[in-house]
Structure 1
Amino acid sequence: MDEQTPIGELISGAAQDAGGWLGALEVAQVATSPDGTIVRWNHVAQQLLGYTPPEVMGRHIADLLHPGADRSLGRSLWETAATGRGVMGTVTAWHREGHPLELEIWACPVHSGRLGASSVLVFAADAHAARRIRGSSAVWDGLFSRSPVGIAVLDTHLRFLQVNPALEAMNGLPESAHVGRRLAELLPEVNAGEMEEAMRQVLSTGEPVLDRRRVGRTPADPEHDRVWSCSYVRVEDPGGRPIGVIASLLDITEQQRAHTEAEAGRRRLALLSEASVRMGASLELERTAQELADLAAPDLADAVTVDILDTLARGDEPGMGLGGGVALRRLGKAPLTGSDITDILAPLGRTLAFPAAAPYTQALAARQPFLIARLDERAIAPAARHSTAPAQLLRAGVHSFMMVPLVARDLVLGVATFYRTGSAGPFGSDDVTLAGELAARAAVSIDNARLYHREHETAVVLQRSMLPQHITPPPGVEVAHRYLPASDVNEVGGDWYDVLHLPDGKAALLIGDVMGHGIAAAAVMGRLSATVRALARLDMPPTDLLHHLEATLADLAEPMLATFLYAVCDPATGRCTITRAGHPPPAAAAPDGTVRLLKTPPGAPLGVGGIDFTTTDVVLPRGSVLVLYTDGLIEARGSDIDQRLTDLTRLLTEPQRPLDHLCDSLITRLVPASADDDIALLTARIGTTLRPYPADGHS
């Protein structure tokens, strides 16, 4: 120091020289003249010992140690400091209010022309506070150097000031590479902008930010993404002003991976559960293919297409060989709109042809999933020789791709293709497994639909072949009839009708319904129809005929039931003898528009056994229409059967219409949508000849 240095500057410079833990305390600063009298007393000294500057200025510093008693200890300490050796230790001083106060002091001589060679500066602090600070500092030093948690100290400009060894290891960079640089400059491959924004928030509000995720790659592991849990706390000076941020980082990559895998497992189970409920219930190729696409997008992929062998889509059997290439028809696609790749992917219904060397054909032939985890120019080169679509998809942002063949019962049925775009990660082995399970379920549903349609078509052909192809009623009877098979949601049943010539110009009108569906029901219907035709030619009484039909059912290997209605009508007299076996009642419409359901004993279905059948005779006015039908015409889910019968009779109030028109009206008005069950309908106008007979009556 030169002779012109003010005392305040000397004290400030000495305080900086003290450094270390002392800089974190409220420190009393005292200066003495060469003879030991106090010449400076700062406000911290006043707060610490209670004396105001006028009360101590000019007094010897030793008076503060045991005042009024032996001052030899105080003088000894001052003389030691004044000689140039300096003093650092613990002493007991007396507070102005008379109680002792333990202080830690640091005293040193100051060489100044103004103060003299033996002038002394004394720094003092509460000993208990000093020990606490030293302890905290030791704890901090140990924590900082040995903690497995990454720790960094940053200034208010978010520049690194200090990092611990754990953070050096996490970032793969030494402390010297950190100091003076920001996170965004140091690690560009992590979400540094988001992290710095969190630190600015801490500096601004003072509220800590906990468990903010840092994700990316560092020089410590440049080939893999890692995840860190970061927390930020503001550091303040004694006045509460922010002076920096302390960041702590914990590598949670493995925990995050385990959590992600658990979430993926739950997602997989949920998706498979949903697939078991939603997929395949319709037994329709198109609907099942679209259900697979809708299930997989967006939960598994951003876009999905489902292509079925063109032969299968046409209703033919799928071929076994793919050596000459393959033709696929697109029956499923998701999303249909709103995606960048929607227009690139072929639309629904389009038939796509692939040569033998194309990846699609090879994937089908191999019957194994085909995965390109990271799609790039090199990866699309084989497919690009056959189509421009791969290059378009790459430009549209598709970065991961997989194909999974649809295989069921050792038959290749088609292929499902999955695309990922945007920020979603590449497909992995778990995704391939999930896609394979979804494809396997869809393939079984598609094959079930194929087998069902084949059996359904067989049953329809059998059913139609057993129905009368050409009905020629006897004179005096006009007939019209309709048969409507069930929709594809349900199988073909065993409904049938017939009109037979009987002796004496009579006609047998009959209708039946074998309970059950499919080929078996159609075959039983054929046996019953043939039996009725054979027995009716013998002019057998109706009740005996029904008992013979029961015997026919009893001969079957598998018991079956059937409802049946047999009406013998004489067009000359209008008399009809009606026998029912559990069948819906016939309706009769008189020429004047009067309509009624004929009240006849319902009986029990054929096959129940032990039931006596009864007959009912009615006489219908000339030109009356008798309507026979199966339950498919009047039964509908959610509808009351009595209301449906009322609707039927209401539609018969214009019996003079042509019978073909009447049949069409009944079908379209009562069954506006696809039928839930087969429908057989037989209408007959009785007494169309001029031969007179009684107007109406019963016997």
Structure 2
Amino acid sequence: MTEQTPIEDLISGAAQDAGGWLGSLPVAQLATGADGTIVRWNRAAQELLGYAPPQIVGHHIADLLHPGADRSLGRALWETAVTGRGVMGTVTAWHQDGHPLELEIWACPVPDRRHGASAVLVFAADAHAARRIRGSSAVWDGLFARSPVGIAILDTQLRFLQVNPALEAMNGLPESAHIGRRLAQLLPEVNAEDMEDAMRQVLATGEPVLDRRRTGRTPADPSRERVWSCSYVRVEDPGGRPIGVIASLLDITEQQRDHSEAEAGRRRLALLSEASARIGASLELERTAQELAELAVPQLADAATVDVLDTLARGDEPGPGLAGGVALRRLGKAPLTGSAVIGILAPLGRTLTFPTAAPYTQALAARRPFLIAHLDEQAVAAAARHTAKPAQLLPVGVHSFMMAPLIARDLVLGVATFYRTSPVGPFGPDDITLAGELAARAAISIDNARLYHREHETAVILQRSMLPQHITPPPGIEVAHRYLPAGDVNEIGGDWYDVLRLPGGKAALLIGDVMGHGIAAAAVMGRLSASVRALARLDLAPEALMHQLEATLDDLADPMIATFLYAVIDPASGHCRITRAGHPPPATVTPDGTVRLLDLPPGTPLGVGGTVYSTTDLDLPPGSLLVMYTDGLVEARGSDIDVRLAELTRLLAEPPRSLDHLCDSLITHLVPASADDDIALLIARVGTYPHPPPPP
């Protein structure tokens, strides 16, 4: 047998686990020689980028980069890897079918025993999908960059994928030394086998393991035995399948000398780990605020409230400052029942106004926690000029009180307040630190929710503003239409429809869908819509109009693709000419109730290029319906498209009714919940004249 090179060894090992942290994502595995020439290219790489091995082996790795991208980044990443350091980065590659694809890459050097030089092993995955699975929100950015807790992400084979600076310092090794290796390989002088057993238990059962002790020595302090408290949480994909483990570590060596301090450290670690898993996943203000309150009780406090700026709760921007006082909306409260303290505090949903000199306002203005370690008669008397609330709290047992401002991206968003009644002592410095970290995580999630909803509203407004505001079809055609935005800002895109009058009493009915999401797709939709309106009135043949729209997309700085359906109808004769560019097929309903999906040449989407479009002619009996829609109406996660199309035709076959009623019925039955994608729907009844038809 021929001895394998280290490159082949590593590729063989990686191929045994195509899952791991990236779950069901295709993980491309390729290798280059020391000069950057691609020497290995696996099946997953072909699936991800479209190139077969004969097409790519022998080319320089930089040839994969998008022609319009800054190739210096890709070359810099490769050159860094080949010099002996593992690297991670994001580049824009060029897919074989001609579209850009953002990739996350992991590259590491591999000594080549045959040639005496360093080759490079590269793993790559779709960056958008990887970020969505891994969770690339600002919560994680802040957690990794600033948390004193050591954090690592491992795949299902317990290989390190990412570590934060705190863990690098604990282990005395850079992140590049961790990537792709197991704990037992990396730190043989700690009880790694026990830790890996705990992680395998988490992967198998889904139950977190908290406060498992890691002991031993690391390169950070090789002469001294240290102790770490470790917690492990399983990460799952949307289908509930395990895709990795998040490990968080706290060095508790010094705390071991004092049992009470050790207990506080474990409590803090567990609470922060739970906060990372629970707070902010919904991107909803109310839910995030309530999650923070519930997380704090009873582990940090006996009661807690979370108040957000009233302007933010109304959906507006946070505001210029706090010079004139502050108005806060109570969005979080715990416990909700069974506490004398909670009965005194304002209920959820109440707006509270505080003057400039009030402690609440001062805590926000100073941007630091406010603490009354011992709430007593003297403290109550000092606060009496601002509020009578402390005087009410003292009789029900509140003896310690603190507030932590909610601050994210240099914006003050609100405040979290904590009350202690149990005889465990007053809030201390460690409690203030913990409250501040919890508040910081919640604040980032609250601000993410603010930005999410602002972009969502902007995209919806832009989308709606570019749809036709007034449709006036020519005599002989009756139309009804609907537009339903997606529930997710990332899915709002470029769906549109229109009805245009053409010379000779004819009409153009059109519907399209830009293959993208968010504000950029909506803007491209507006450009295409304007182009169609201008071109259609020139009475161009459908095929010519399609090629003009191709040219419009070619003018864009960033390549875009759109599906499109264009029909020219003469209502007097019922003659119809339809051209399709990768769009779902339209349906017709004849007066006798016969429904059929039109079997038209599918064409390819606009923007692909090189397509010769064909037009289909048909005659529609007077009173027939032509039903045009975008894919959001008939596509749904977990549902077969043929089943959905059959349901569409069944609904269309029901007894005749008004077009508006039919539009509402289709959307109600086919999209009963929040839409996963934009939906545009256009229905036309052909050959209906309010007055006698014009003479031929």
Could you state the TM-score of these two structures normalised by the residue count of structure 2? Answer: 0.60
Offset from partner CA, 1:374-395 (integer Å, 9 cap, x none): 3222223333333332222222
- Secondary structure of the residue aligned to 1:341 is helix
Residue number in structure 1 paired with 2:651: 651
- Secondary structure of the residue aligned to 1:343 is helix
Residue number in structure 1 paired with 2:398: 398
Q: Please give the residue correspondences for 1:407-556 in structure 2 after superposition, counting only pairs within 5 Å.
A: 407-488=407-488, 490-556=490-556
Contact 1:574 1:687 in 2 (8 A): yes
- Secondary structure of the residue aligned to 2:446 is helix
Provide the C-alpha distance between the structure 2 equivalents of 1:328 and 1:255, rounded to a whole number of angstroms: 39
Offset from partner CA, 1:144-185 (integer Å, 9 cap, x none): xxxxxxxxxxxxxxxxxxxxxxxxxxxxxxxxxxxxxxxxxx
Q: Please give the residue correspondences for 1:534-613 in structure 2 after superposition, counting only pairs within 5 Å.
A: 534-613=534-613
Structure 2: which amino acid aligns with 1:362?
Answer: Q
The answer to whether the aligner puts 1:314 opposite 2:314 as a matched pair is yes
1:477 to 1:491, Cα distance in 2 relative to 1, 3 A: same
Offset from partner CA, 1:117-137 (integer Å, 9 cap, x none): xxxxxxxxxxxxxxxxxxxxx
1:672 to 1:362, Cα distance in 2 relative to 1, 3 A: same
1:417 to 1:664, Cα distance in 2 relative to 1, 3 A: same
Q: Which deviates more from structure 2 when the two are superposed, residues 484-493 or residues 388-397?
A: 484-493
1:641 to 1:335, Cα distance in 2 relative to 1, 3 A: farther
The answer to whether the aligner puts 1:297 opposite 2:297 as a matched pair is yes
Residue number in structure 2 paired with 1:389: 389
Provide the C-alpha distance between the structure 1 equivalents of 2:320 and 2:692, rounded to a whole number of angstroms: 68
Contact 2:256 2:262 in 1 (8 A): no
Provide the C-alpha distance between the structure 1 equivalents of 2:439 and 2:476, rounded to a whole number of angstroms: 62
Structure 2: which amino acid aligns with 1:659?
Answer: L
Please state how far the C-alpha of 1:273 moved relative to its aligned partner.
3.2
- Secondary structure of the residue aligned to 2:332 is strand
Offset from partner CA, 1:252-276 (integer Å, 9 cap, x none): xx98764443443344334333333
1:557 to 1:297, Cα distance in 2 relative to 1, 3 A: farther
Contact 2:550 2:607 in 1 (8 A): yes
Contact 1:405 1:414 in 2 (8 A): yes
Contact 1:283 1:489 in 2 (8 A): no
Offset from partner CA, 1:403-452 (integer Å, 9 cap, x none): 11111222111111112222344322222222212211221222222223
Q: Which deviates more from structure 2 when the two are superposed, residues 489-498 or residues 368-377?
A: 489-498
1:255 to 1:551, Cα distance in 2 relative to 1, 3 A: closer
Offset from partner CA, 1:568-599 (integer Å, 9 cap, x none): 12212222222222211112122222212111
Structure 2: which amino acid aligns with 1:391?
Answer: A
Please state how far the C-alpha of 1:371 moved relative to its aligned partner.
1.6
Provide the C-alpha distance between the structure 2 equivalents of 1:429 and 1:437, rounded to a whole number of angstroms: 13
Provide the C-alpha distance between the structure 2 equivalents of 1:299 and 1:675, rounded to a whole number of angstroms: 39
Contact 1:576 1:620 in 2 (8 A): yes
Provide the C-alpha distance between the structure 2 equivalents of 1:648 and 1:540, rounded to a whole number of angstroms: 32
The answer to whether the aligner puts 1:614 opposite 2:605 as a matched pair is no
Please state how far the C-alpha of 1:629 moved relative to its aligned partner.
1.1
Contact 2:255 2:261 in 1 (8 A): no
Structure 2: which amino acid aligns with 1:683?
Answer: I
Q: Which deviates more from structure 2 when the two are superposed, residues 474-483 or residues 428-437?
A: 428-437
- Secondary structure of the residue aligned to 1:449 is helix
Provide the C-alpha distance between the structure 2 equivalents of 1:541 and 1:474, rounded to a whole number of angstroms: 19
Structure 2: which amino acid aligns with 1:390?
Answer: P
Residue number in structure 2 paired with 1:364: 364
Please state how far the C-alpha of 1:606 moved relative to its aligned partner.
1.6
Provide the C-alpha distance between the structure 2 equivalents of 1:436 and 1:511, rounded to a whole number of angstroms: 52
Offset from partner CA, 1:589-625 (integer Å, 9 cap, x none): 2222221211112222222222222222222222111
Contact 1:359 1:382 in 2 (8 A): no
Q: Which deviates more from structure 2 when the two are superposed, residues 534-543 or residues 274-283?
A: 274-283
**Structure 2 runs not aligned, ≥5 long:** 1-253
Please state how far the C-alpha of 1:491 moved relative to its aligned partner.
5.0
- Secondary structure of the residue aligned to 1:404 is strand
Residue number in structure 1 paired with 2:328: 328
The answer to whether the aligner puts 1:279 opposite 2:279 as a matched pair is yes
Could you state the TM-score of these two structures normalised by the residue count of structure 1? Answer: 0.60
1:547 to 1:282, Cα distance in 2 relative to 1, 3 A: farther
How many residues align? The count is 440
Provide the C-alpha distance between the structure 2 equivalents of 1:265 and 1:646, rounded to a whole number of angstroms: 59
1:569 to 1:429, Cα distance in 2 relative to 1, 3 A: same
Please state how far the C-alpha of 1:692 moved relative to its aligned partner.
9.7
1:255 to 1:465, Cα distance in 2 relative to 1, 3 A: closer
Offset from partner CA, 1:338-380 (integer Å, 9 cap, x none): 3222211211110001111111011011010112223222223
Offset from partner CA, 1:484-536 (integer Å, 9 cap, x none): 11225645311111001122222111111112222211111100000111111
- Secondary structure of the residue aligned to 2:610 is coil
Contact 1:494 1:525 in 2 (8 A): yes
Q: RMSD between aligned alpha carbons?
A: 2.2
Residue number in structure 2 paired with 1:686: 686
Provide the C-alpha distance between the structure 1 equivalents of 2:600 and 2:583, rounded to a whole number of angstroms: 10
Q: Please give the residue correspondences for 1:101-140 in structure 2 after superposition, counting only pairs within 5 Å.
A: none
Contact 2:489 2:518 in 1 (8 A): no
Provide the C-alpha distance between the structure 2 equivalents of 1:617 and 1:655, rounded to a whole number of angstroms: 27
Share of identical aligned residues, percent?
Answer: 81
Structure 1: which amino acid aligns with 2:336?
Answer: L
Contact 1:591 1:655 in 2 (8 A): no
Provide the C-alpha distance between the structure 2 equivalents of 1:570 and 1:267, rounded to a whole number of angstroms: 75
Please state how far the C-alpha of 1:279 moved relative to its aligned partner.
2.6
1:400 to 1:511, Cα distance in 2 relative to 1, 3 A: same
Contact 1:474 1:507 in 2 (8 A): yes
Provide the C-alpha distance between the structure 2 equivalents of 1:277 and 1:564, rounded to a whole number of angstroms: 42
Contact 1:624 1:655 in 2 (8 A): no
Residue number in structure 2 paired with 1:91: none
Q: Please give the residue correspondences for 1:232-311 in structure 2 after superposition, counting only pairs within 5 Å.
A: 258-311=258-311
Contact 2:491 2:676 in 1 (8 A): no
**Structure 1 runs not aligned, ≥5 long:** 1-253, 694-699
Structure 2: which amino acid aligns with 1:565?
Answer: L
Contact 1:340 1:396 in 2 (8 A): yes
Structure 1: which amino acid aligns with 2:685?
Answer: R
- Secondary structure of the residue aligned to 2:609 is coil
Residue number in structure 2 paired with 1:670: 670
- Secondary structure of the residue aligned to 2:340 is coil
Offset from partner CA, 1:278-314 (integer Å, 9 cap, x none): 3333332222222222222233222221111111212
1:268 to 1:590, Cα distance in 2 relative to 1, 3 A: farther
Contact 1:480 1:663 in 2 (8 A): yes
1:608 to 1:382, Cα distance in 2 relative to 1, 3 A: farther
Contact 1:329 1:349 in 2 (8 A): yes
Contact 1:320 1:412 in 2 (8 A): no
Contact 1:289 1:442 in 2 (8 A): yes
1:274 to 1:658, Cα distance in 2 relative to 1, 3 A: same
Provide the C-alpha distance between the structure 2 equivalents of 1:273 and 1:578, rounded to a whole number of angstroms: 58
Residue number in structure 1 paired with 2:56: none
Provide the C-alpha distance between the structure 2 equivalents of 1:470 and 1:670, rounded to a whole number of angstroms: 26
Contact 1:589 1:655 in 2 (8 A): no
- Secondary structure of the residue aligned to 2:688 is coil
1:692 to 1:411, Cα distance in 2 relative to 1, 3 A: closer
Contact 2:580 2:603 in 1 (8 A): yes
Provide the C-alpha distance between the structure 2 equivalents of 1:585 and 1:530, rounded to a whole number of angstroms: 23
Provide the C-alpha distance between the structure 2 equivalents of 1:271 and 1:319, rounded to a whole number of angstroms: 32
